[in-house]
Structure 1
Amino acid sequence: MKKIYKNILCVLALGVVFASCENYLDDVPKGSKVPTTLADYEAFIRDEYGNQVVNVEQALTLMNDRFQTVANLAYYRLTNANYFWDETADRIDLNQADETTYYRSYAGISSFNLIIENVLTATEATDAEKRIVWAEAKMLRAMSYFNLVNFYADTYTTGNAGKLSVPLITSASINAPSKQVTIQEMYDFILKDVNEAIPFLPKVSQTALHPNLGAGYAFSARVYLQMNNYTEALKFADLALAENNKLYDWVGFYNTNKTIIDTPNSYTTVASPMGYNYTENYTFRHGSSYSLGRELSIPVDRAARFETGDVRFKSRWKLRTVGADTYYYSTLSGMYNFGGITTVEVYLIKAECLARAGQIADALTLLNTVRKTRILPANYADITTTDKATALNAIFNTKRNELILTLIPFADARRLNAEGTYPFSLSKVEGGTTYTLSATSHMWTMPFPQGATKNPGNGTLTQNVDK
């Protein structure tokens, strides 16, 4: 774990320089600056390409939501193992790189720890202003730990709660102890952070990168859903939607840009509406497709799982062949909120909770409210059923499509597989060979990178998978 701080944190960060890795708030070298004012600490939250990045590339690869080129699959052995669901592969041995998912997340957590530990004594601000930044850092730390525990540890169940999860670090000090806590302890810590933050979160964000009150409620709904606590998830979903229940009009977006979108064999880009000002945002964080330009391409068989007439899909990708690769190529450019939280996720959390409680009609009303903003009128029809399983599967399918290229479809699949009632598996045929990812596969938990287990810093780190 010490490697994380020495390699990443003892560097320039938005003009703020730590004087020393061992005690960076004491010695101030000439020409350097340590954080003292509220603006200094708040700058860490604005570090959108560092602290705000949420990279879950191997989860997207396992889900086959991200297209991988023939060249990538030949060169990156871990990517190949996950993409083809090779259960014989030793992914621990293959994960020798400094995986961004792990190191970027802990670098961000260290920055949020620095804020939480020190911002209440910052200068040039009122106590109320300092408490807001403190609460925002608590939210972002909790969100980062949620991503880590749902990537490197088994999913939350009563039976799994005592298993090891990921290292918990609550201090920015290089000498801070690292303890690999249980899954239950990690979820308790996440909820504690959020519950302490919510009373101080503003209703209106300073920027899209700053979590607001709606984000606090929405993230609480996400966490409780992952814990299978549908009563609490529903309560917080309602609170979040009371703060923001807007849905983006993708049908209108398509109609405005259809001439460009529908031009055959043309890959001219249209500006992404999913950036900082996206009406569905609670809070914005860059995801695995965080660089400026086009978002990730998706495989042909994955594209087939979108509904007919889904203009959100049609506006984002177009079939293309380049050499040996045929895939759906991105035709939007700009920013994408793949690491934050949006209203559509909360609509579908609420729909699932209602369906599980037997309120099928109300659940489908919410589901269809979302679908009407995505499906062309000529193709649209309400989903109607009185069967709980049918309703839930419709909600799950829509959610996987809506939140593609985020961690959530992967986290949901793990949750449903652990529950066992609505398991999720995958199958495909490539090159005449059939590949299958079962609901019970060990591959649903990712291995820690070797650098982390071999150099865990001030603690110990045990792998959560055998391979």
Structure 2
Amino acid sequence: MKKIYQNALCLLALGLTFASCDNYLDDVPKGSKAPTALADYEAFLRDEYTNHRVDITGASQLLNDQYVTLANLASYRLYNANYMWDENADRIALKQSDETAYYSSYAGISTFNLIIENALTTTKATDAEKRIVWAEAKVLRAMNYFNLVNFYADTYAASTASTKLSVPLITSADINAPSRQVTIQELYDFILNDVKDALPYLPKVSQTALHPNLGAGYAFYSRVYLQMNNYTEALKYADLALAENNKLYDWVGYYNTNKTIIDLPNSYTTTTSPMGYTYVENYTYRHGTYSSLTTENSIPVERAQRFETGDARFISRWKIYTVGAETYYRRTLSGAFNFGGITTVEVYLIKAECLARAGQISDALNVLNTVRKTRILPASYQDIATADKTVALNAIYKTKANELINTLIPFADAKRLNAEGVYPVSFTKTANGTTYTLKSDSHLWTMPFPQGATQNPGNGTITQNVAK
């Protein structure tokens, strides 16, 4: 864990030189500048490559939301274990090197801890301005912890959350800060409290796409409550978030504007991603994996088959491609992608699930179809209409998994549904004549901590949450 802070502090410097890691704010070398003004700390929130990366490569590969080439399957045994659902693989032994999903998240947490500890006592700002930056850091810290607990621990279940371990909780930017691997319940309580503290001070309009606004706070609260199976509170905050921003992007319009390029046979010329900093669906923007800063993943043929016929969002993003012995759907967008933040479409679909869970099937499907009308080409579009709760929920889950592909959410949703056991998620595929299955109760749904974390936990201890 100490390594996390050493890396984080170096990144946080942003050109500022400190005398030592232990007392970097107390002993400033001559000619150097220590952060004292609010603007100095607010600048850390703009360091997107350090503090806004949400790497979920393992989860994306497990879901087969990311195509992994034959060469990479042969070269990277961990990729093969997740992608081919190898329950015999010792993924702990295979995680010998540092893992971005873990270290980037804690580097961001160190940044946000630094801001939370110091923003309210900075200079050259009003108390209200200080509170805004403090609140933004609180939300971002909570988001990082949500990502970590849903990647490295079992999903939230009220019956076991108070006994099962989650991830190390660290609330100080000090390099020697103690950490404790808290229970899942303790971490969720901490996350909810951070957002509760922040909500009164979040602005309605963001300073940049990286700064959470009030809508982002409500949307994230809704996400957390859904993961806790608290559908009443999730619906409440989904409605509050949509009152702040309820825009949906017109993917049918995007396809029609670019169809000459998109439909050109045997051409893989890219069009510009609309899912960047100015995407109308954004509450807050965060990057995905490093490779996704300018491109997104290609996807397997089997995964492509789960999209609806006429899905303009799918047609605009991927096109079937064959090279040698491999066939997959190659990415055809370039630019920026909000794979780590929160968007309105997620909140619409949270609302739809909560309504369906409450037996309000017609209302739930109205919300679902509102989303689908902006995605499905008119020639293929039909309203989903049913009075059956299971049919309605499965339609919502299918749309949500497709809409949020290459984000953490389909993985977190699958874990939540598998723990519940009523709408389990499992997958089957055939490769080279062999059938592979990812069972709903597989241990593969929980990612192991990297060895670097367990062997060097800093001022604390870390226990693996999965056997292999």
The TM tier, using the shorter chain, reads over 0.9
For residue 291 of structure 1, report the CA deviation from its aligned partner: 4.3
Q: Alpha carbons of 1:364 and 1:289: their partners in 2 closer, same or farther (altered >3 Å)? A: farther
Give the counterpart letter for 2:109 in structure 1: I
Counterparts of 1:54 and 1:457, CA distance in 2: 23
Q: Which runs of 5+ in 1 are unaligned?
A: none
| Shift in Å, 1:13 | 4.0
1:292 touches 1:333 (CA, 8 Å); kept in 2?
no
For residue 206 of structure 2, what is the aligned residue in structure 1? Answer: 205
1:66 Cα offset (Å): 0.4
The match for 2:2 is 2
Indicate the residue corresponding to 1:457 in structure 2.
Answer: 458
Q: How much has 1:39 moved relative to structure 2? A: 1.1
Q: Pairwise mapping of residues 239-258 of structure 1 onto structure 2 (< 5 A)?
A: 239-258=240-259
Q: Provide, for residues 206-243 of structure 1, a one-character-per-residue CA deviation record: whole Å limited to 9, x for no partner.
A: 00000000000000000000000000000000000000
1:129 matched residue in structure 2: 129
Partner residue in 2 for 1:68: 68
Instruction: Give me the whole-angstrom Cα distance separating, in 2, the residues matched to 1:56 and 1:123.
Output: 37
Give distance in 1, aligned partners of 2:454 and 2:218. 35
Pair 1:407–1:11, CA change in 2 (3 A):
closer
Report the counterpart of residue 92 of structure 1 in structure 2.
92
Are the aligned partners of 1:14 and 1:43 in contact in 2 as well (CA < 8 Å)? no
- Matched to 2:56, the amino acid is V
Instruction: Report deviation, 1:36.
Output: 1.0
CA displacement at 1:37 relative to structure 2: 1.0
Q: Does structure 1 conserve the Cα–Cα contact (< 8 Å) formed by 2:8 and 2:110?
A: no
Structure 1 partner of 2:350: 349
- Once residues 39 and 164 of structure 1 are traced to their aligned partners in structure 2, the CA distance between those partners, rounded to angstroms, is 37
Instruction: Decide whether aligned partners of structure 1 residues 438 and 113 sit closer, same or farther in structure 2, where only a CA change above 3 A counts.
Output: same
Shift of 1:27: 1.6
Q: Secondary structure of 2:118's partner?
A: helix
Alignment of 1:184 with 2:190, yes or no, is no
- Whether the aligned pair in 1 keeps the contact of 2:53 and 2:290 (CA below 8 Å) is no
SS at match of 1:381: coil
Instruction: Name the counterpart of 1:115.
Output: 115
User: Is the Cα–Cα contact under 8 Å of residues 13 and 44 in structure 1 kept in the other structure?
Assistant: no
Report if aligned partners of 1:289, 1:296 keep a CA contact under 8 Å in 2. Answer: no
* 1:37-76 to 2 correspondences below 5 Å: 37-76=37-76
What are the equivalent positions in structure 2 for 1:394-409 lying under 5 Å apart? 394-409=395-410
1:289/1:338 contact within 8 Å kept? no
Deviation at 1:11, TM superposition (A): 4.2
1:34 is displaced (CA, Å) by 2.1
Equivalents in 2 of 1:436, 1:327: separation in Å? Answer: 20
Is 1:276–2:277 an aligned residue pair? Answer: yes
Matches of 1:321 and 1:155, distance apart in 2: 38
| CA distance in 1 between partners of 2:76 and 2:10 (Å) | 30
Query: Aligned partners of 2:99, 2:290: CA distance in 1, in Å?
Result: 15
Identity over aligned pairs, percent = 77
Structure 2 stretches lacking a partner, 5+ long: none
Deviations 1:160-213 (A, max 9, x none): 202110000000001110100000000000000000000000000000000000
In structure 2, what is the Cα distance between the partners aligned to 1:8 and 1:173?
Answer: 11
Counterpart residue number, 1:148: 148
Mapped partners of 1:103, 1:4: distance in 2: 6
- 1:391/1:132 Cα in 2 relative to 1: closer, same or farther (>3 Å)? same
The answer (yes or no) to whether the contact 2:255–2:316 under 8 Å persists in 1 is: yes
Q: TM-score normalised to the size of structure 2?
A: 0.98
8 Å CA contact 1:294–1:334 kept in 2: the answer is: yes
Q: Classify 1:17/1:299 alpha carbon distance in 2 versus 1 (closer, same or farther; 3 Å).
A: farther
* d(CA) in 2 for partners of 1:166, 1:294: 30
The residue that corresponds to 1:215 in the other structure is 216
Q: Is the 8 A contact 1:19 1:32 kept in 2?
A: no
CA displacement 1:244-277 (0-9 Å, x = unmatched):
0000000001000000000011111111100000
Q: 1:234 is aligned with what amino acid?
A: L
TM-score of the aligned structures, taking structure 1 as reference length: 0.98
Give distance in 1, aligned partners of 2:168 and 2:419: 23
2:360 matched to 1:359? yes
Cα distance in structure 1, aligned partners of 2:295 and 2:405 = 15
> Retained in 2: the 8 A contact 1:293–1:333?
yes
Offset of 1:121 from its aligned partner?
0.9
2:39 is aligned with what amino acid?
A: A
Offset of residue 5 of structure 1? 1.2
* Partner residue in 2 for 1:174: 175
- Which amino acid in 1 is paired with 2:348? Y
CA contact (8 A) 1:61 1:83 kept: yes
